[in-house]
Structure 1
Amino acid sequence: MAVVTNFDPGRRKPETNALDALTALVAEDLEACNELIVQRMQSSVDLIPQLAGYIVAAGGKRLRPLLTLASARLCGYEGRRQLMLAACVEFIHTATLLHDDVVDESDLRRGRASANAVFGNKASVLVGDFLFSRAFQLMVEDGSLDVLRILANASAVIAEGEVLQLTTTNDTETSEQAYLEVIRSKTAELFAAACQIGAVVASRPSAEERALRDYGMNLGIAFQLVDDVLDYSARQARLGKTVGDDFREGKITLPVVLAFRRGTDEERGFWRRTLEEMDQQDGDLERGIEIMARHGALKDSVERARHYAAIARDALGLFPESPVKRSMLDVLDFVVDREF
Structure 2
Amino acid sequence: SEEDDYEKQLDRARIWAREWRFRVGVHHLRGLTDAERAGREYAEVATATVAALWPFVVAAFAEKHGAPPGRGAAVLGMGSLGAMRLNAASDLDLIVIYDGADEDMSDGRRPLATRAYYSRLTQALVTALSAPTAEGRLYEVDMRLRPSGRQGPVATSLPAFKNYQSEEAWTWEHLALTRARPVAGDGVLGDEIEAFRQELLSAPRDRSNTLKDVSDMRARLAEAKPGGASLDAKTGPGRLQDIELFAETGALLAGSAKRTIAGQIEAAEQAFGLSTEETGFLMDAQARFWRVQAAARLVAGEQSVDTDETGAGASAFLLRESAADTVEDLEANLKALADRAAGLISKHIGS
Q: Same fold (TM over 0.5)?
A: no
Q: Which has a greater percent of strand?
A: 2
TM value normalised by structure 1: 0.33
TM-score (ref. length: structure 2): 0.32
Tell me which protein shows more helix as a share of its residues.
Answer: 1
Quick check: which has more Rg, 1 or 2? 2
